[in-house]
Amino acid sequence: MATLTDLVRDELATPVDPRVTAMAAAIAAQYAGSARAVLFYGSCLRERELDGLMLDFYLIVSDYGDAFPKRWMALANRLIPPNVFPFQAGGLIAKYAVLSEADFHRLNGSETRNVSVWARFAQPSRLVWAVDDTARDRAIAAVARAAPTLLAAAGRVEGEEMLGWWRRAFSLTYSVELRAERTSRAQSVVDAEPDRYLRFGAAAAAAIPVQAKSGGWARRRFEGKLLSIARLAKASLTYAGGIDYLAWKINRHAGTKIEIKPWQRRWPLVAALTLVPRLIRGGAIR
pLDDT, mean of residues 34-62:
93
The segment(s) of the chain belonging to CATH 3.30.460.10 are: 4-218
pLDDT, mean of residues 58-87:
94
Given a contact cutoff of 8 angstroms between Cβ atoms, the answer to whether 12 and 40 are in contact is no
Higher-pLDDT residue of 168, 52: 168
Options 1.10.287.3510, 3.40.50.300, 3.40.50.10420, 3.30.460.10; CATH of 4-218 = 3.30.460.10
pLDDT in tens, 122-176: 999 999 999 999 999 999 999 999 999 999 999 999 999 999 999 999 999 988 8
Q: For residues 232 and 6, what is the distance between their CA atoms, to the nearest angstrom?
A: 36
1-10, 67-76, 262-271: segment of lowest average pLDDT: 262-271
Q: Three-state SS for 207?
A: coil
Given a contact cutoff of 8 angstroms between Cβ atoms, the answer to whether 115 and 217 are in contact is no
Chain-centroid distance of CA 109 in Å reads 14
Q: Tell me, what's the pLDDT at 245?
A: 64
Q: For residues 202 and 198, what is the distance between their CA atoms, to the nearest angstrom?
A: 7
pLDDT in tens, 96-117: 999 999 999 999 999 999 999 9
Q: Tell me, what's the pLDDT at 247?
A: 67
pTM of the predicted protein model: 0.85
- Kindly tell me if the per-residue pLDDT of 248 is higher than 80: no
